[in-house]
Structure 1
Amino acid sequence: MRWSVSIPSSLIWLLATQGVRCLEEDESSPLNKTLWRRVRDPGGDGGGQTPTISDLFLIGDSSLKGGCSSKLDVLNGWLNEVNLLHEAAKTVYGGYRTNKNYAVLLLDFFGFGIEVNGKPGDPSNTYGIKNMDNYFVEENWKMLGDRLAGVSQFLAGAGLRDPVVPGEPPRIFCSGDAAVLAGLGDIVKDKSQNEVVTARDPSTNEPTEYLTISRAFRPSGGNIFWMSAYNGYLNLKKYTPDDNQACPVNKVNADGSGGTRYAVTNRGTRPVDLYKDIEFGNANRVILFCPAAFEPNQWVAGAGNLHNYPSLAQAISPDNYPGNGGALDNLGLDNILPVSATFYHELYHLTDIGDTADPYYKMKDIFNAARGTGGLAVTTFKNPETFTMFAMAAYMLINAPEGMDPMIYYQGRPMKASLIPY
């Protein structure tokens, strides 16, 4: 039978009790076709060794300005944690049908409704999901699966689904030294570093006009940088009008926007269509990690900092795990995201089809969007920080220390999973 129960008012919106089927049983579901069957990923059943940073990215040697050869140990440490986070996210996505806590996380972060099939408190209950407004459940479920599958594919060493340069790994850089600012009046260079000529004297064939940065790229609100690693360009957003750095620090506008860049992912920058026949160097996407990603502000309990908790291992240690007097008791999810979460966040930019924006970072905005409808709800599935917080919540739920009550982060706050009433 189908039933609803009396639960705290903050959870009432999660319940829906009509017309649901478990998408896990649908052969067209990305759960069956995309995430598990087609992609062998770290932690899966495909065997083989987990790829390293050098397997996944073009690194460059020690002579490369802004390169990552000296950061490989740090990056591989982040990669290990990223694999753990992603495995937790996949476990929740694939196991909601028989696990009420997994279902609640999917609802909380992505806005699906819930149906309980069975009797109150029966451990054999199963769960179905749907959108709260009954619309687009198939499309949204597919979007969720596709985003997870894209990251799974990349972490497995199978490359990107939408490669800019087919057959080439994406590039990774570890400081702004990799990028040299190009002025709007500077002459554009092609992939052979030759200046691009747009007009010549008919008598002498000498150049009379060159292609400039402003004409080739028409940047709007951004800076254009020359990347010698691939003899091409990178267009990065300006934090403030006077920002001219690839890795700006403390660049804040009067309205509070801007700040310090931790990382950015880019497809590389192509000229406008008028100059599409010119051969420019390009990259199969780029991740640039700035110094702040490696040396974030010191973690402070309750400060609501992002991506600066020391490690996943510390978060699930008996001394820290919330709920039983641990150091993380009553701290929001946004206060315990590890340093490696920046890398995980960037993977959703890296593996998307097209460029991905960052609609919102703040925890309250993430949960408000999950409750929204129409365009607001759709942005939930395009927001990398939503997936980052979802994966961390999944990891904390699944990895409670032995003998301690598992904690579920509902609306970003920890509560005992046993309190979920159905």
Structure 2
Amino acid sequence: MTDKQTEMTTMDKVNQSLARRYRAERRFRAYGMAAILFGLACLVVLFTDIIGKGHSAFLQTYVAMEITYDSDVLELSDPSDSNAVARADFQGLVKQSLRDTFSDVSGRRDKRALYALISNGAGFALRDRLANDPSLLNRSETVWLLADDDVDTYVKSRDDEGGAFTGRLNEKQIAWVEQLIADNAVEKRFNTTLFTAGDSREPEQAGILGAMMGSLFTLLVTIALSFPIGVAAAVYLEEYAPKNRFTDFIEVNINNLAAVPSIIFGLLGLAIFIGFFEMHRSIPLVGGLVLTLMTLPTIIISSRAAIKAVPPSIRDAAYGLGASKMQVVMHHVLPLAMPGMLTGAIIGFAQALGETAPLLMIGMVAFIVDIPGGVSDPATALPVQIFLWSDSPERAFVERTSAAIMVLLAFLISMNTLAIWLRKRLERRW
């Protein structure tokens, strides 16, 4: 075999080897793209399902009723007396209006079915109207009242291809609803109750404001405690702590705590804050303390990584100009590391905002109707509210569960977007 033939044989082997490597690289890139596309497809399916189920919760059905504020029905003579107004039978006005609208309805059972078309909270709306305008007594006006959740579900599903969902409505109730629709007395409006009310046993009266305020107070406690403690711990471990077995033990345990399931922190909070310190259950203060324990490892790790990213030349230049250790850390290291610290902290807070398990352990799963006014008031959180609604049998709670998930996702996406914006806005390049 000549040298030229030998050289050709070697080149062929090299080309074949390169071709195999290029094919393997293309396959690897194709696998990566397929994985990304599969993840995006799953995400699209998830969001489509949530939005498809939850978008209707932002609308609510109202029924126009001619209400006469009859003093005899109300058993009220002085509308300026707040105590008398509070005791008046405003739901009786709704029943009287329904009987006047459907005068052919007779029998106790049929009347009970007729009264069920309007939410049992409509009387409170009429009470507020009369309290704000006492001159309405013994006068009539047309008022749009909140429909019952079964009526709301039926009206929203009338245009669906699968047909209207009748649910618990009987044939007579459906006929009455259709008559109201034909009279243009039924209307779908933006559901302000969803954002202005607390939890309720009745789906049409249930809102997420109480859960949102509970999450806000809990998150404020978490931010106020975890960020300064986490940053201080990171500064100490990176700038002051000697490298020995004790600090190595601390670092290992911090990294291990970041991987501990969140429910363990809930058990810890139950044992320490409620069991030992005897703090009240189901309050944002305890929830914030528990979430502080959970987010501290994440903040410490991200803050230490940000401090390590500061070039040593910055420290050396500051020392060369006569700065003390404290001045170097406070005037140079912390300002340069702050973008990374804020990014890690916001991601940790977003994780805390979406946690459910530790809050369940400390009793924030309670049914809370009132809107909390501070960190010591009984409250629940938005993820826990979603958990409670998802276990409710009424179909109207299904759409409200999805709507609450959409609101929670909006908050989480906003917090992550803020983290990215802060990193881009504040980071410096050397």
Shorter-chain TM band: under 0.3
Structure with greater proportional strand content? 1
Structure with greater proportional helix content? 2
Normalising by structure 2, we get a TM-score of 0.27
